[in-house]
Amino acid sequence: MADYHIWFGLAVLLVIAELASLTLYLLMVALAAVAAGIAALSGLGVAAQFGVAAVVALIGFAALRRSRFGRARRGAAATDPNVNLDIGQELDVPAWDADRRARVPYRGAQWQVELGAPGEALPGRYRIVEVRGNTLVVVPR
């Protein structure tokens, strides 16, 4: 079996894996495998094929990281009401501790609540603006 068959077969498998993972990084590796397959078709040696694959993969990774698809959106789900349905809901906080935290019942469970706005922590009704693990970040409504 020729080297280019292996490279193109690997590229197809990587594209299939990419469709399952949706990360786009496997797509860059698949493009690198295609480039190595083209290098094999042009008669370059195995070491040169791996070199071409490495260079194309690194260029693809760098381009992907600089694009809007490669930027990590940290915390976007924690504050997006389309992702987390608790955002925008209201709850009652009967008392706050000295650290501006409280334990309150919400949706049938006890939740840690943290005040997310500057100012005095007073008992009352608050609106959820962020969810960090099992902590609800709230602001006065």
Q: How confident is the model at residue 6 (pLDDT cuts 50, 70, 90)?
A: very high
Please give the pLDDT value at position 113: 96
For the cut 60, the answer to whether the pLDDT of residue 73 exceeds it is: no
| Residue scoring higher pLDDT (83 or 5) | 5
Domain regions of the chain by residue span:
3-66, 76-140
Of 57, 55, 68, residue with least CA distance to 28: 57
pLDDT in tens, 98-119: 889 999 999 999 999 999 888 8
* pLDDT of res. 74: 55
Asked if the model's pLDDT at residue 72 lies above 70, the reply is no
Residue 76 scores a pLDDT above 90: no
The residue to which tokens 């970040």 are assigned: 137
CATH architecture of 76-140: Beta Barrel (2.40)
Q: What is the DSSP secondary-structure string of 23-81? A: -SHHHHHHHHHHHHHHHHHTT--HHHHHHHHHHHHHHHHHHHHHSTTTS--TTHHHH-T
Pairing of strands 109-115, 124-132: unpaired
CA distance 116 to 98: 14
Residue 22: band (very low, low, confident or very high) from pLDDT cuts 50, 70, 90: confident
